[in-house]
Amino acid sequence: MNKRGKKRILHTNRNMMKLINILCIETSTDVCSVAISQNGKLLSCVEKVNTQNHAEEITLMIDQSLKEAKLSLKELSAVAVSAGPGSYTGLRIGVNTAKGLCFALEIPLIGLSSLAILANSIENCEEGSIIIPMIDARRMEVYTATFDHNYEELTPTQALIIDENFAQSHENDSIYLCGNGYQKAMEYLKSLKIQSGHQLASAVYMVKISHSYFNDSKFVNYLNFSPYYFKEPNITKPASRNT
């Protein structure tokens, strides 16, 4: 074999051994979750439930997750972030953190639907079944979409009020429910064929899908990327003071 042929084989082997390290950030609900994967396998995960301090926690959690994975920031190949729908404040903090890291490290950003992440939490979904993730959007409203057993989106994301009409539209379906909004829908869904899934969001569910996105170069432009809020934030004006 000539030298050119040896170099070609050596180059191929190096590419095969390349490590794809992805930092995953999930802050779409009151769960603040960070995970690191390598070539599609989970290395570490740090998360806090029912926290209202995403901004204070996220940087420390990233540092801790990197230490547990025995990696440095410079070894990251990309950052994946839950991009909505969900909590306005949580999404803003997560996306801004991800964008800042990508800008500083000059690595790509992967934006993932919060509902697609939840759908991927369902393992071994039966063929022919559908997955309906639900994220609480206050009162009887949820952010939702439907996915098939291969995690392909069947209907797009929408803000929907759960009622009898919703139940009737799925009376012939075998359903997997997941997310922090599906419990309040159970009153209307009791007659359906339902299997309950995970209620809490987690960066762990981003590992498989983010690795697939990376391999397909499905990146977003972090310079102008924004979360998918779907609804305006619920901001109340302070009461006026009598002078």
Alpha carbons within 13 A on the beta-carbon side of 71: 21
pLDDT of residue 155: 93
SS (H, E, C) the chain: CCHHHHHHHHHHHHHHCCCCEEEEEECCCCCEEEEEEECCEEEEEEEECCCCCHHHHHHHHHHHHHHHHCCCHHHCCEEEEECCCCCHHHHHHHHHHHHHHHHHHCCCEEEECHHHHHHCCCCCCCCCCEEEEEEECCCCEEEEEEEECCCCEEEEEEEEECCHHHHHCCCCCEEEEECCCCHHHHHHHCCCEEEECCCCCCHHHHHHHHHHHHHCCCCECCCCCCCCCCCCCCCCCCCCCCC
How far, in Å, are 169, 180, 191 from residue 166 at the CA level? 5, 18, 12
pLDDT of residue 54: 81
Determine how many CB atoms are found less than 10 A away from the CB of residue 187. 12
Work out the average pLDDT over 136-151.
92
**pLDDT tens-place string over residues 16-59:** 568 999 999 999 999 999 999 999 999 999 999 987 778 888 99
**pLDDT tens-place string over residues 207-238:** 999 999 999 999 999 999 999 987 765 544 44
Domains of the chain: 12-113+201-215 (3.30.420.40), 122-196 (3.30.420.200)
Q: Could you tell me which residue, 156 or 54, shows the higher pLDDT?
A: 156
pTM attached to this predicted model:
0.86
pLDDT of residue 1: 53
pLDDT of residue 12: 39
**pLDDT tens-place string over residues 94-129:** 999 999 999 999 999 999 999 999 999 998 888 999
Work out the average pLDDT over 182-186.
83
- How confident is the prediction for the chain on average, in pLDDT? 87
